[in-house]
Structure 1
Amino acid sequence: MHKALCLLLLVLSLHVMAYGQTPYILNGDAVQRTCNCYILTPDAGFKSGTVWNKNKINLLQSFDYVFDVNLGCRTTGADGIGFILQTKGTNLGASGQGIGFKGIAPSLGVIIDTYQNLDENDPAYDHLAIQVNGITDHSSPENLTGTIEVLPNTSNIKDCKWHIFRIKWDAARQLLEVSVDGQLRLSATKDLVNDVFGADPMVYWGFAGSTGGEINEQQFCAALRPQLRFDHQQLFCEGTPVVFGDDSQSFGTITHWFWDFDDGTTYTQAQPPPHLFPPGQYDVKLVIEDNSGCISDTLQQRVAVDTYPIADFTADLLCVGRTIQLRDASAVTTGTVQKWQWELGNGATATTQHPQTVYDRPDNYTVNLTVTTPGGCSNSASKILPAYPIPEVSAQGNNVCLGLPVNFTANNLTPQVSIRDWLWRLDDTTTSGIQNPTHTYPNGGTYHTRLYAISEDGCASDSAYADISIIDLKLDAGPDTLVAVLQPLQLQSVSNGATQFQWEPATGLSDSHIANPVAILQKDQQFRLTVMSPEGCIQKDSLLVRVYKGPAFYVPTAFSPNGDGTNDFFRAIAAGIPKLDYFRVWNRWGQELFYTTSLTRSWDGTYQGIPQPIDTYIWVISGKDYTGRQHVQKGTLTLIR
């Protein structure tokens, strides 16, 4: 490390010497910014600058020059820069729309024009052109190639960014090629020596730039770009050396390399030997120096070296025909698992971390998982997993009358598969874990019962269902009632599905075997009704018919509305009077407190929700009996609390 530090200090000292011994001559507003970089124009109006290499080059020999150019940050700025070959000297240049090229002849200029001058037939976009003899009008014969966008589909190159500007001359083929950011943009075949420079092959080369009313800081650098040749497909695994190479670009010749592998080791040649890293992450750095003594910026490349993963997985119980979830359980000490490759043993493959699949027959299946880290480190795990058959079951249950038990039956349709557990859900919150349960339902209706079974291997069957009916005739013989002596009374029983009826006793009935006979009675009678459904379900109910002499109203003389459930309401009993005209109650001051025309309504001892005091109240009731005769009665009532 001490040796590497000494080398770096030596390189820096050479850099300082080279900075003051530039091979370029600067004119106008041009200034040197760093060892290999120059500002052609400041961010000001009507400025110009040229930078000429003091050494001529021979056009009978090929060259391949790589530069970095920056056209500024003002998107509306101007005017542009140009790479120029000329024979006139090293003190040339001009401001404004000529970009420092205008008027220089003989010459060749590769022009990056960033302002539209209509008098020179400029397009609206920032453009590239190859011109000769100081003529910048694009419609002139001196425009060898026409114009093109500097970058494809980019109208404005004034983006504050550095772009690679490459000029390549093939002397044998007399071919000039211009590339920007690695893309060939223009080419021209021309005998430059004879057609442009009058048979003189020795020319000066350099850059010129200018501004006018619109402004921009415009720069170029003699390219000095460190670049790793780095195969991202190689393995980055513990114990495997990593191979690096140098693909740096430089205007001049690269003379020194400084590699720092971020693990305490360095190297000072273009091609370092394969390097063995311990597992971890490393920032590999490369700095280069060219023959002019200029030192590049530092290139940094992140390298992650992984350990080999330990592949593992778990799986649900394999039941034939069921969707099975497999779960990756792999681990890695350094790095992460990035890729999963499953071979599921049934012909299917998967690349997700936790795949699902279905096995269609009982068998032993070999499942293989290969996991890979981002560095390409792989490991595999294989397991043999048995797939078990699932049982098939059926469910049965009988329809019964309400109150009787239902006998359920579960059948194993796959006797070769042993059943470990049975589970019934009987559709009324009741469950059972026996094969053939019995259950009595508290209410009638249809119940959708469900059954499934679990085999000895742990595989659950599909559900089987049995719909059973609990027959409830919902018999109601009718409410207790009262009637006048010999007044015909239509009995009103209600039932659901009953087809046979038996009233007992049959005394006074028009027919004791129908649902709704007519009764004519002379005394109180308790009737019992028995009904039967076609399924043989029997239900019973009764009603009491009280017989009064009448027709007449029977009204109590007192009541106690205190909420104790006894005698809380004041009501009238209408014997033989089916229709009520009114029933009214007043207090002693003649204020009406209660009114109804209904035989079923009663007074609760309140008025407008306010309990009335203990006192004597007056009532009147009126109605018509079943013969149409009017009956009116009145009296007093005592309210007790």
Structure 2
Amino acid sequence: MKSALSLISCLFFALAPAWAQIQQPYILNGSATQQSCNCYVLTQDQLQSGGSVWNKNKISLLQSFDYTFEIFLGCKDQTGADGIGFILQTEGTNLGGIGQGMGFQGVSPSVGILIDTWHNADENDPAFDHISIQINGESDHGAPQNLAGPAQLLAGVDNIEDCQWHLFRIRWNATAHQFDIWVDGQLRLTTVIDLVADVFGNDPMVYWGFAGATAGASNLQQFCAALHPEFQFDNGQILCDGTPVTFRDNSSTFGAITRWYWDLGDGTKITDPLPAAHTYPAAGKYEVKMVIEDNSGCISDTLRNTVTIGSWPEPAFTPDRLCLGDPLQLNDATKIEVGSPGSWRWNFGGGRTATTRNPLAPFTAPGTYPVTLEATSAEGCVATVTQNVAVYQSPEIAATAAHACIGEVTELRAQHLTPGVNITEWKWTVNNDAEINRQNTSYQFTRGGKYPVMVQATSGDGCASKPVSLEAVVTDIALYAGPDTTIARGQPLRMHPAATGERLIYEWWPANSLSDASAPDAIAIPDRDQLYRLIVRSPEGCVQEDELMVKVYTGPEFYVPTAFTPNNDGVNDRFRVIAPGVPQLGYFRVWDRWGKLVWEAKSLSDFWNGEQNGRPASAGTYVWVVEGTDYTGRKFSRQGTVTLIR
């Protein structure tokens, strides 16, 4: 349930009688057992159980009371039951019961503050665990005997079988006839009723106590007459090295505290109700221990809390220079040896302040400004520093990247727009790769396209300009006039050049025998072999040239050699057909003297290298046949022989 008494409390209270030897004012019934001097188990975690603990001395309801207990409702939510109740009654000290009535049902006259951990639909229970104030042994929330509630034990919490101890405070105001119920410092229920006149038949003398019960489900259910040590510090207390610390006792007890024991963690031990203002020897973390004893002779567990006595901050910040045009970012660099940061206050002069840790300075003009930082630790320790911050003008620049044709250099030029600022460094970044450190420079790209270029300047004060981003354009027309070709005399030839770009200007030369010398797809009808030159100009002024050779034959016709020598000397090594005026080949086949097919062409560009099945064919005479369709659509064929010479 609770930890055993610490060695400290045992030593301090060695002269106090053991709790078992003290005459206790309670009478126990059923499953109830005493666990320690001030703590009782009402039910163990077992079925069909009920226990009650009654104070043998009656109290008068004509007198106000304020009782504080600690309650424990078990660790099982869905399968735990049934609950406990604080009860005022006049029937005696041997009452109790099991099941959903929690030892309260049927006790009349009575007042019960019931903590119900089981959902009984027949008693109008809400789905969540709940607390209520009821009278005369009636636990049904739909009955008129339900004075207040049901409500959650803690706001927003459905389950109170959470394996935790909770402070349970009951205050009766005899003058106002008012009950107020708190749980862990939260006011949960309030009701106004004249208990003496309306419940107890004008008899003000009542017994009080706790009852609890289980039935088909169970939980460990306990309560303690509160003996809960706790301390706080005075409002506004700072916990800093060399500063006196004042403690405030905030303990919760059922009775009166009769003795205290304090161990302040630095070797100082005190038995007064409150320590005098105490100054710790140095900054650091100290474990403060506190034990209390009440007027029944019960001794609390030992409260242990760590108190941090903070060291004084060493405020500082960076940088000591800022550049207009960039965010004027200041960064806190305060050091705190013991403790943690709490808050910051910046003063920039002229009534301008900030409270963020890393603020933006409000300066708008170059100059040197005193900036003050007041740093406060979480322990309340405050220190201040003032540093001069220099603010400089950042340079402003402009830049251009001239257009270039492939093979030319791209001229990169930068312009200084703030003559009053001394620029000491220029930096060009070309195509996210090359870096050049000059104001004006050039760069040669190896391919056409668009390339990212950026330039930035830095002043002698270390302030950088805003980067200027450009796009360098390099034009590559990538001209290809077309492949050399053969045609028949009188056969029209449509040009198909390839070029990159828009709004290109074409010029063919010579212009004679061309349908349009300025058209990229001009039609040529040369009457003899002709070398054509194509000149192309881009709108940017780039010029490229290329040539193609047109050989003119009488035709349409197939021209086939009569012999070839495939010896790889580069001369007459290939057997192929020249077909001016024949754009479409039907077939071109070669047979040996025995009629076996040796080679077959798939297109006019194919050739025979003198091999058969990957091996050199024998020297000798071979028969060939070729068929195709000329440019007029006429199909025709030729045949003949060729001599392979080895």
2:3 is matched with none
Structure 1 residue 621 corresponds to structure 2 residue 626? yes
Amino acid at match of 1:149: A
Take 1:638 and 1:380, find their aligned partners in 2: how far apart are those partners?
105
Amino acid at match of 2:564: A
Secondary structure of the 1:323 match is: coil
2:640 is matched with 634
1:558/1:225 CA distance change after superposition, 3 Å: same
Structure 1 residue 30 corresponds to structure 2 residue 35? no
Structure 1 residue 434 corresponds to structure 2 residue 438? yes
**TM-score normalised over the length of structure 1:** 0.78
2:283 is matched with 279
Number of residue pairs aligned between Structure 1 and Structure 2: 623
Q: Which of 583, 587, 603 is 2:588 aligned to?
A: 583
Take 1:113 and 1:90, find their aligned partners in 2: how far apart are those partners?
21
1:156/1:309 CA distance change after superposition, 3 Å: closer
Q: Deviations over 1:108-132 (max 9, x none)?
A: 4324263677888877765433425
Q: Deviations over 1:550-598 (max 9, x none)?
A: 8661427335487x98877543334676664432234565443543464
TM-superposed deviation, 1:307? 1.7
Higher deviation after alignment, 465-474 or 320-329: 465-474
Amino acid at match of 2:377: T
1:555 is matched with 561
Amino acid at match of 1:9: L
TM-superposed deviation, 1:268? 1.1
1:208/1:366 CA distance change after superposition, 3 Å: same
Trace 1:168-247 onto structure 2 (pairs within 5 A): 168-182=171-185, 183-190=187-194, 192=196, 202-211=205-214, 215-230=218-233, 234-247=237-250
Structure 1 residue 599 corresponds to structure 2 residue 601? no
Amino acid at match of 1:553: Y
Secondary structure of the 1:145 match is: strand
Secondary structure of the 2:16 match is: helix
1:501/1:377 CA distance change after superposition, 3 Å: same
Q: Which of 301, 318, 322 is 1:314 aligned to?
A: 318
Q: Deviations over 1:218-260 (max 9, x none)?
A: 4332221112133585322222233211121222211111112
TM-superposed deviation, 1:299? 1.7
Question: How many percent of aligned residue pairs carry the same amino acid?
Answer: 41
Take 2:232 and 2:68, find their aligned partners in 1: how far apart are those partners?
18
Q: Deviations over 1:158-199 (max 9, x none)?
A: 55443333333334445444444442524333262x666666
1:594/1:361 CA distance change after superposition, 3 Å: farther
Q: Deviations over 1:307-343 (max 9, x none)?
A: 2232333339633222355444333322343545556
Structure 1 residue 376 corresponds to structure 2 residue 376? no
8 Å contact from structure 2 (residues 372, 384) kept in 1:
yes
1:149 is matched with 151
Q: Which of 14, 20, 23 is 1:21 aligned to?
A: 23
Trace 1:220-369 onto structure 2 (pairs within 5 A): 220-230=223-233, 234-277=237-280, 278-315=282-319, 318-337=322-341, 339-341=343-345, 360-369=364-373
1:112 is matched with 114
8 Å contact from structure 2 (residues 482, 498) kept in 1:
no
TM-superposed deviation, 1:33? 1.6
Structure 1 residue 420 corresponds to structure 2 residue 414? no
1:174/1:405 CA distance change after superposition, 3 Å: closer
Higher deviation after alignment, 255-264 or 274-283: 274-283
1:95/1:547 CA distance change after superposition, 3 Å: closer
Amino acid at match of 1:37: C
Take 1:471 and 1:392, find their aligned partners in 2: how far apart are those partners?
30
Take 1:24 and 1:559, find their aligned partners in 2: how far apart are those partners?
129
Secondary structure of the 1:308 match is: coil
Take 1:544 and 1:35, find their aligned partners in 2: how far apart are those partners?
118
1:40 is matched with 42
TM-superposed deviation, 1:23? 2.6
Secondary structure of the 1:395 match is: strand
Gaps of 5+ in 1: none
**TM-score normalised over the length of structure 2:** 0.77
Take 1:468 and 1:211, find their aligned partners in 2: how far apart are those partners?
86
8 Å contact from structure 1 (residues 15, 295) kept in 2:
no
Take 2:545 and 2:125, find their aligned partners in 1: how far apart are those partners?
110
1:389/1:586 CA distance change after superposition, 3 Å: farther
1:347/1:389 CA distance change after superposition, 3 Å: farther
Take 1:453 and 1:131, find their aligned partners in 2: how far apart are those partners?
86
Amino acid at match of 2:311: T
1:273/1:544 CA distance change after superposition, 3 Å: same
Secondary structure of the 1:376 match is: coil
Take 2:517 and 2:350, find their aligned partners in 1: how far apart are those partners?
72
2:460 is matched with 456
Secondary structure of the 2:616 match is: coil
1:203/1:460 CA distance change after superposition, 3 Å: closer
TM-superposed deviation, 1:35? 0.8
Amino acid at match of 2:53: V
1:102/1:569 CA distance change after superposition, 3 Å: same
Q: Deviations over 1:6-54 (max 9, x none)?
A: 9853514424156442233334443322111223344455555443334
8 Å contact from structure 2 (residues 428, 453) kept in 1:
yes
Secondary structure of the 2:11 match is: helix
1:250/1:315 CA distance change after superposition, 3 Å: same
8 Å contact from structure 1 (residues 619, 637) kept in 2:
no
Take 1:422 and 1:445, find their aligned partners in 2: how far apart are those partners?
25
Higher deviation after alignment, 396-405 or 298-307: 396-405
Structure 1 residue 67 corresponds to structure 2 residue 69? yes
Take 1:240 and 1:603, find their aligned partners in 2: how far apart are those partners?
107
1:491/1:16 CA distance change after superposition, 3 Å: closer
Take 1:491 and 1:49, find their aligned partners in 2: how far apart are those partners?
112
TM-superposed deviation, 1:85? 4.1
TM-superposed deviation, 1:272? 1.1
1:310/1:559 CA distance change after superposition, 3 Å: farther
TM-superposed deviation, 1:279? 2.1
User: What is the Cα-based RMSD across aligned positions, in Å?
Assistant: 4.7
Take 2:217 and 2:256, find their aligned partners in 1: how far apart are those partners?
37
Secondary structure of the 1:9 match is: helix
Secondary structure of the 2:40 match is: strand
8 Å contact from structure 1 (residues 420, 454) kept in 2:
yes
8 Å contact from structure 2 (residues 148, 191) kept in 1:
no
Take 1:533 and 1:96, find their aligned partners in 2: how far apart are those partners?
100
TM-superposed deviation, 1:603? 3.8
1:552/1:207 CA distance change after superposition, 3 Å: closer
Amino acid at match of 1:296: S
8 Å contact from structure 1 (residues 402, 471) kept in 2:
yes
